[in-house]
Structure 1
Amino acid sequence: MGIIATNFNEQIELLKSRGMELDYSEEKVKEFLLDIGYYRLGFYWNPFEIDNKHNFQKGTKFSDIIKLYYLDVDLRNLLSRYINRIEINFRAKIIYYVSNKFKGSPTWFFDPAIMMASFVSQPEKYYNSKFISNNKPIKMHHRKYINDKYAPAWKTLEFFTFGTILTIYQNIKDEGIKGRISNVYGVRDVKKFINLMSNTLLIRNLCAHGDIMFDFRAPKGLSVIPDITFNKGDRNSLDASIKVILYFLGKISINRQNDLEKELQVLFDKFNKNENLKKIIKEKINYLDI
């Protein structure tokens, strides 16, 4: 093989040869390399590279790379916390509205009269022995009601993932009840609602799995609705996704919406005097209020 692993000393010399200013002691740089990893840090020094040989623009400091890395970490943690509020609210709305619409079918989520065949044809994908054993209330339900194939929706859906909850919503046959739920969030068009909620789910998953956030681009442009204005008309940037998250929060709690706006401002303002990071926040994230 032509590619071999490199040690700390080789990695440090390589960074120096490409023009990186190591404004920490070499021991501290080694500590960062072992803590975060050379390859992962590469995603954060990529914006500072000027050619395909990975040389850096003049004045690129290792400390700026570390600051950008921790900006990303803080951003993931912040968004994850607020998206959790949206997830819980969305789950509660589906449980309440659909269960009351179809009172005669407490396990409506696998009822072929209510759900599309593509979903109900593979219940074992979502509801199996592992699912039962991993969730104590579901396990207790089956011990008490030994003849029940599934626990009712108000129990079961509490333990389904955000992704499964959204899949259930998409597979409900009754467009009226889907519209009623999307209207709770001020979105009349169900397809637009699914687009916006799907992107929120994507951001949630990226945060949960430690993905790189600052240069995120949505694979599909976010749907246009009257109450959301995207900076520079960019419907794919991370800022566009943040605006959707803020929109959903505002339909749940104005206080939580305000809290996220304030916390984002505080986070980005930390880098207001660092021109390199300020440029990345404006051009990559598309957050202009800095």
Structure 2
Amino acid sequence: MGAIATTVEEQIKKLTDRGMVLDWGEDKAKEVLLDIGYYRLGFYWNPFEIDKDHNFEKGTKFSDVVQLYYLDVDLKNILNKAINRIEINLRTQLIYIVSNEYPQYPTWFANKKVMHSKFVDEFPKYYDDKFKDKNKPIKKHHANYPNDIYAPAWKTLEFLTFGSIYSIFFSLKDEKIKYLIAKYYGFKSVKTFQNFFQTIIFIRNICAHSGLLYDSNTPKEISTTPFFKFNNNNKHSLDSAIKVILYFLEKISADRKGIIENEIISLFDNFEQNEVLMKIIAEKIGYIKK
């Protein structure tokens, strides 16, 4: 049986017994714990723990834990804006390029001449009555064209998840079409493009679902590329993933890339006077200021 629920007073006692300094005072600590939650905030005091009993390094401040939490929240918000722009653009290019390669197949995503059989066979599981009812343009299409099994690609793909968009790209039979899409973003290698695409999806899912970002490492090594250098040659770090996001964004809009990059730099600069957080930014995120 797991641990039982505790009161906020008991939570504070646990923290102080383990060595946490309530530098903002006990009342503020209660306010924060009742706002963010003891369990969620625990992910942000993990870097300060020194043993299996979860004792804290001497001098660990409650304020540093909370500031790390908000650093993570703010960084997710910044990256969300960038990834949303990339997602729309990738979706648009996939629809445009493939639809114009196969104008005779408006529902090419469900055609075995275009797509690998496995994807086509599994697609009805996603394009069900719930999907049609939830997305008004799709519902309207089937009301107007009741004999159509699917709405055309330029309608259907707008309502699929970002992960599904990747699956569609991956499941295309014609490698030349994959290359055309990759080439649009400056890639000579489809494999590297796919690797970057997967990296963006990984970070997107963390940001979209309020996951833990600052401590994230990509499960797959980011491909070596001439586009940028990896800090400390770390091809899994969050900083390296951010470089991937900024690369894509620059291909879409250099102005937007500049804005997002400056927002990230400014966010990290806010903690220049805090040695504790700057160490986490360098060691956990992998960021090194130019």
TM range, normalised to the smaller chain? over 0.9
1:109-155 deviation per Cα after TM superposition (whole angstroms, max 9, x unaligned): 00011100110012222211111111111111111112111111111
Shift of 1:209: 0.5
Q: Larger deviation: 162-171 or 24-33?
A: 24-33
* Partner Cα separation in structure 2 for residue 71 and residue 217 of structure 1: 17
Deviates more, 1:82-91 or 1:51-60: 51-60
Distance in 2, matches of 1:51 and 1:159, equals 47
Q: Which residue of 2 aligns with 1:31?
A: 31
Alignment partner, residue 208 of structure 1: 208
- Kindly provide the amino acid, as one letter, of the partner of residue 43 in structure 2: F
2:130 is matched with 130
Corresponding residue number in structure 2 for 1:172: 172
Aligned to 2:105: 105
TM, length-normalised to structure 1: 0.98
195-204 vs 17-26, which deviates more? 17-26
Any idea what the Cα deviations from partners look like across 1:20-50, whole Å, max 9, x if unmatched? 1001232221111111111111111111111
Structure 2 unaligned runs (5+)? none
Separation of aligned partners in 2, 1:85 and 1:106: 25
3-state secondary structure, aligned to 2:88: helix
Give aligned-pair identity as a percent. Answer: 56
CA contact (8 A) 1:50 1:56 kept: yes
User: Are 2:198 and 1:194 aligned?
Assistant: no
Distance 1:194 1:182 in 2: 8
Partner AA of 1:234 in structure 2: N
Match of 1:182 in 2: 182
**Distance in 2 between residues matched to 1:39 and 1:209, nearest whole Å:** 16
Displaced runs of 4 or more, over 4 A: none
Correspondence 1:152-167 to 2 at 5 A: 152-167=152-167
Deviation per CA, 1:39-96: give whole Å up to 9, x if none. 1111111111111111111211001100000000001111011100000000000010
Task: Please report the RMSD computed on the Cα atoms of aligned residues, expressed in angstroms.
Answer: 1.1
Residue pair 1:95, 1:154 contacting (<8 A) in 2 also: yes
Q: Could you say which residue in structure 1 is the equivalent of 2:43?
A: 43
Determine the structure 1 residue equivalent to 2:224: 224
- Indicate the residue corresponding to 1:238 in structure 2: 238
AA aligned to 2:65 is I
**Residues 187 and 225 of structure 1 are in contact (CA less than 8 Å); yes or no, is this contact kept in structure 2?**
no
* Letter matched to residue 283 of structure 1: E
- Structure 2 Cα separation of the partners of residues 140 and 270 of structure 1: 49
CA–CA separation in structure 2 for the residues paired with 1:4 and 1:238: 35
Task: Compute the TM-score of the two structures, normalised by the length of structure 2.
Answer: 0.98
Q: Structure 1: how far apart are the matches of 2:6 and 2:20?
A: 17
Q: Per-residue deviation at 1:3? A: 2.8
**Alpha-carbon distance in structure 2 between the residues aligned to 1:54 and 1:148:** 59
The DSSP-based 3-state class of the residue aligned with 1:121 is: helix
Structure-2 residue corresponding to 1:79: 79
Q: Which residue of 1 aligns with 2:91?
A: 91
Unaligned regions of 5+ residues in structure 1, if any? none
Q: Contact 1:93 / 1:181 at 8 angstroms: preserved in 2?
A: yes
Q: Per-residue displacement from partner, 1:191-239 (whole Å, max 9, x unpaired)?
A: 1111110110111011010001111011111011111211111010100
Give the number of aligned pairs: 290
